[in-house]
Each structure stands twice: as C-alpha cells, then as structure tokens.
Copies of this chain bind each other. A is one copy, B any other.
Amino acid sequence: MSKEKIIPYKIYLEEHEMPDSWYNVRADMKNKPAPLLNPGTLQPLTLEEMSGIFCEELCRQELDDTTPYFPIPEEIKKFYKMYRPSPLVRAYCLEEKLQTPAKIYYKFEGNNTSGSHKLNSAIAQAYYAKNQGLKGVTTETGAGQWGTALSMACAYLGLDCQVYMVKCSYEQKPFRREVMRTYGANVTPSPSDTTEVGRKILKEFPGTTGSLGCAISEAVEAATSQEGYRYVLGSVLTQVLLHQSVIGLESKAAMDKYGIKPDVIIGCAGGGSNLGGLISPFMGEKLRGEADYRIIAVEPASCPSFTRGKYVYDFCDTGKVCPLAKMYTLGSSFIPAANHAGGLRYHGMSSVLSQLYADGYMEAVSVEQTSVFKAAEEFARVEGILPAPESSHAIKVAIDEALKCKETGEEKTILFGLTGTGYFDMVAYERYNNGEMSDHIPSDEELAKGFAGIPRFPGNDI
C-alpha cells in the first residue's frame, strides 16, 4: 500500500538535514559570468587588488567559478542553527482564498531579528574577517536591513562593526539604528566628518541627507584607512549569492523529502542575493540538463534593470569607486522614482543572474508598486505574515501565476521566496492604506539619461 505523505503547513528540516556546503552555480555555467574589471586598467581584477578591500577568503570565493561546493565552516553552521532551518511553508490559506488548483509554497526567511535573508551572508563575511585576524568590518546601509544583519553577526563573533547609514534613514528610521546599536555596532550618519570623502561632500553640500553611493564611499575609505579592517557588502557580489544558496538548498531538500517538484520558481530581484540563492540548486539541475523549471525574476516597474536595462559593463556604485561589473544595468546615475521597496532600487544586477538571463535560463517581469501592496495585504490577511515590500513583488507574481492555473485548471506547483518581514516598512504601508501611493514607470527619456552615464570603452557597446 503506498502511503502518500501529508504535506504539513510548514516543513522544517531536521538539523542533520541542513546543508553542509554552499553551492556555487557558476561551476555549472557554460558561459561564465564576466569578471569584475579594474576601472583604471579595464583588466580583470586580481586577487591582490581585491584583497585590499575584501577579506582574502571572500576574494577567493568571488573569483572561483569552477568549484561547485564550498564546505560551510562549523562556526557558521552553528550560527545558522540558531535561526535556521527556515520554514518552507505550504500556503494552504492563500490557495483556499484564491480558489486555485495550484500548490503554492514559500521559503520564509524573515524569522530572525534582521528580518530578512541578509543574515545568511553577514555571518559568513564576518566569520572570514574574524578568521583572517581582522579587528572589524565596515559597511553601508540604506534602509538598515543589511546593517542589522551584519551587526548581529559581528556581535556574535566579537568583531567591531562600523555602519555608515544614509543620513535620511538614520534620522527617519531610528528603530533600525537602535537595533544595530543594541548589537554593539557603531552607526554613523553619512555623509559624516569621519572620512575625507564625507568631509568633502559635507563642505560641498552642507544640507545633504546622503545617498547610498556616498555611504559606500565612506565605508570603503574607512575600511582601507584603518589597520585590520575590511569592507563588506550585502548583495550583488558573487560571494553573497554563494552564501545565499543555503536558501535554495534547504528549499530543495525540504521539497525532495516530500517528493515535491516545483514547476515555477519566483523571486524578487534587487541586487540578486535572494533570487540567486533561492534558485541556485534548481538552476544547477537546469544547467546540467537534469530537470526543467520556469524561473521568474520580479523587479519593480520603477527600476527595471532586467526588463529594460542594458547588458554591459558599468559601475557598481554611484560614487564610481568600486570595480566595473558586467550586468543588466540602468546606469549608475539612474535614480528610480520614490519606491518604498528600498532593497529593489539598485540600478544593476548580479553578474551571475545577468549571464543566466542573457542565456535564456530565466525570465523577468516588472510589476507596479500599488499592485504589489495589494498582493501584500491579501497575503498578510490570510497567511498571517506581514511581508516586506521587496518580498511582496514575488507574492504578486505568485498570485498571478496561481490565478492563471485557476483559469486553465492546471495543478502547478509554485515556489516563491518570502525574503523578509515589513515591520520597519510601515510608512509605505501607511501610504498604501491611505490611498496615497502611486506608480511610476520611467519614460524612455528618463532611462536614456541613466544609460548616458555608462562608461564607454571598446567592446562595451550600449
């Protein structure tokens, strides 16, 4: 007698079933992602050049596109056990509400104090810094999610943590700031007088409330000007996607345990850390020809790097201090319209995901924010979790796909990434609740202005 397993509302792996290694999807890519370039020489960045800014082991991970698995160090596995495995949730209540024959699953990464998946890479980056004998790390944070995650990781390892927080966020989001301070981080509003670049900007624009580009420049300067410090970054980089593969590996293990195979995999895409992590083992199977999945990246219509950007080399930061990366980009000077999904406002995209998209291994759609908040509200009311605006982009498209199944009668299995909670995004929810939220799709002229800032050199045709 065959015994069909009842799928619970939440699938938790046992501790011994948690991944022992991160998966490096580049190892299975025929067309490797283009290397980072030194903006001065336009030559691929060397380990030596890179290791002045980043920890050595992280540089090695950044450059290695052939090793498929990187063992997760014991200390990191221990930290993971504190807040992982994260649940793979069967959205029974949402399915019932939608009256869809589709089976909807989501991997929920919000059940930790940082409120998102960012912690998965923060602990890894802090660990390698500690292991190298460093005193501390520096970083920038906009909304504060990444800064919080890094503060938590550093507090755990006893590492100094210096966060440059965009001044307007520092002032408008005092709660995020205090969480970081509670974890012992040194939080400085940027621009500040603690760095040369900060002082220069303050002199030039005395009343400025800062920008992410400026905060990056200050954090990089702080790292390179202090003995025993390095700079760390929460998205875009390939090392970050590697650490975030834990999301996908856990999802796949949980699904395999119950014999579930997703037809469609959906994730929101800002810099690509969550999406890259979620899809990695599934993409690996697809690249090796072992299985096929529809993979959908969801981005805001106000910042459509995949769907309307150029696939060229560009600066990673508005301050133009970082290396050049080949990616789908709107230009480092592109300024998206006010959109509260702060984590999805990045002008570019992970070079790994860019290459996979260019090669046709995944799709991309863009959605407007009012429809995203509508989906968020619908989800919150039946599934009980108040989602982050970023994550809600994936919810929106998952609901759309489930409703298509309702029309066609197909019993598709949908998996999406629920990257985090929206507890610190209530200003955006308030605007939505008050009917004060609007959409903005950039015109071709607006996009052209951003493209104009992309560097021109032989082979970099836009």
A residues with CB within 8 A of B: 8-10, 12, 14-15, 78-79, 81-83, 93, 111-113, 115, 152, 155-156, 174-175, 178-179, 181-184, 377, 380-386, 421, 423-424, 426, 429-430, 433
Contacts and interface: CB of A to CB of B under 8 A. Distances in A.
A384 B199 CA distance: 35
Contacts of A14: 8
Given A8-B15, A14-B8, A421-B113, A381 B179 contact: no
Given A113-B423, A178-B426, 17 more contacts: A8-B15, A9-B82, A10-B81, A78-B93, A113-B384, A115-B423, A152-B384, A156-B381, A156-B384, A174-B430, A175-B424, A178-B430, A179-B426, A181-B430, A183-B380, A423-B423, A423-B424
A386 B8 contact: no
B426 A175 contact: yes
B426 A174 contact: yes
Contact of A179 (B10, B115, B386): B386
B181 A81 contact: no
Contact of A382 (B156, B181, B382): B156
A14 B111 CA distance: 19
A399 B302 CA distance: 50
22 contacts: A8-B14, A8-B15, A9-B15, A9-B82, A79-B384, A83-B384, A111-B111, A113-B384, A113-B421, A113-B423, A155-B381, A156-B381, A156-B384, A174-B430, A175-B424, A178-B429, A179-B386, A182-B386, A182-B429, A182-B433, A183-B380, A184-B381
A14 B9 CA distance: 10
- Oligomeric state, in copies: 2
B423 A380 contact: no
A51 to B, nearest CB: 29
Given A111-B111, A175-B423, A423-B424, A181 B8 contact: no
A372 to B, nearest CB: 13
Nearest to A91: B82
B386 A113 contact: yes
Contacts of A8: 14-15, 81
A115 B174 CA distance: 19
A75 to B, nearest CB: 11
Nearest to A383: B82
B182 A377 contact: yes
B183 A381 contact: yes
Contacts of A429: 178-179, 181-182
Contacts of A115: 423
Nearest to A114: B384
A348 to B, nearest CB: 31
A387 B156 CA distance: 16
